[in-house]
């Protein structure tokens, strides 16, 4: 298999997710970004990131609702607002504010890029602070903001994802340089010294990091949603 980084062509499609886009740019999932099944995503995440299926399957199953096909998805369809895609993202604009919730946005990314000053790593505390700041900006600028238990759960899981795939999945400490390349270029920073985690990323490791992030994010709901039932 050829896993070199290749930028998407004009007919390849990409998502609001830097993780899936990185997998596609390295050929761990189809480079055209189309007709992708859950088992293909799970195999790609394990091979590229050492991320096991238990922390990913829920998100992947939700993703199937982005289109009509019964068991595959296209990456660009994942921009469907309020399915998985939410406001106050760390690298994409709010749909109601910028009109683009799909593409990487360097202005939005400033909050994360400048987080944890004076050291060269991000960690669960800094990730929580980034979530707080991004939400404050959205609350101040987006009259259409959605901010319920669902959004904080998804946002926190995503922060745990970037810390875990670019850093140490046990401590949640990740080199800034690796995280920034992951978001800006949707590339594995192998040339810069990144290595795939040597422990498997699981729902347990993600939740351990997520608990610290959520505590540091000083979060309150501005709307209510139904109880979340995500599995048996």
The residues that touch ligand HEM, with contacts defined as CB under 6 A, are 15-20, 23, 41, 45, 51, 56, 59-60, 63, 78, 84-86, 89-92, 158, 161-162, 165
Class of residue 17 by CB neighbours under 10 A (exposed 0-12, middle 13-18, buried 19+): buried
Residue 161 interacting entry, from ligand HEM, Mg ion, none, C-beta within 5 to 8 Å by type: ligand HEM
Binding of residue 168 to Mg ion (CB under 5 A): no
* Dist CA 180 CA 115 (whole Å): 11
151 binds, among Mg ion, ligand HEM, none (CB under 5 to 8 A by kind): none
Instruction: CB nearer to Mg ion: give 61 or 103.
Output: 103
Spatial contact of 163 and 172, defined as CB atoms under 8 Å apart: yes
Closer to ligand HEM at the Cβ: 6 or 67? 67
**Residue nearest ligand HEM (C-beta atom):** 19
DSSP letter assigned to residue 29: S
- Which residues from 91-110 bind Mg ion, rule CB under 5 A? 92, 101
Which of 51/152 has CB closer to ligand HEM? 51
Q: For residues 67-86, which are near Mg ion according to CB under 5 A?
A: 85
Question: Do 40 and 29 touch, CB atoms closer than 8 A?
Answer: yes
* Identity of the residue, 1 or 61, whose beta carbon is nearer to ligand HEM in the bound complex: 61
158 binds, among Mg ion, ligand HEM, none (CB under 5 to 8 A by kind): ligand HEM
Going along 135-225, which residue ranges are E strands? 174-175
Q: What distance lies between CA 160 and its chain's CA centroid?
A: 8
In angstroms, the Cα distances linking 45 to 12, 27, 87, 214 are: 19, 11, 25, 24
């Amino acid at each position: 298999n050829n896993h070199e980084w290749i930028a998407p062509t004009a007919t390849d499609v990409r998502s609001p997710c830097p993780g899936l886009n990185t997998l596609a740019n390295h050929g761990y999932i189809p480079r055209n970004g189309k007709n992708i099944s859950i088992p293909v995503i799970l195999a790609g995440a394990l091979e590229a990131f050492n991320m096991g299926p238990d922390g990913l399957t829920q998100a992947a199953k939700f993703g199937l609702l982005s289109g009509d096909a019964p068991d595959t998805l296209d990456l660009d369809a994942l921009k469907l607002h309020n399915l998985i895609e939410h406001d106050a993202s760390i690298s994409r604009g709010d749909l109601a504010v910028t009109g683009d919730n799909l593409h990487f946005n360097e202005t939005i990314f400033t909050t994360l890029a400048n987080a944890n000053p004076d050291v060269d790593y991000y960690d669960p505390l800094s990730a929580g602070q980034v979530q707080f700041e991004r939400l404050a900006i959205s609350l101040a600028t987006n009259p259409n903001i959605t901010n319920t238990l669902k959004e904080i759960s998804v946002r926190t899981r995503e922060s745990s994802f970037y810390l875990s795939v670019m850093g140490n999945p046990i401590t949640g400490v990740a080199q800034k340089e690796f995280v920034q390349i992951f978001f800006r270029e949707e590339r594995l920073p192998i040339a810069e010294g990144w290595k795939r985690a040597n422990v498997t990323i699981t729902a347990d490791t993600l939740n351990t990091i997520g608990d610290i992030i959520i505590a540091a994010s000083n979060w309150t709901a501005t709307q209510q949603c139904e109880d979340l039932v995500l599995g048996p």
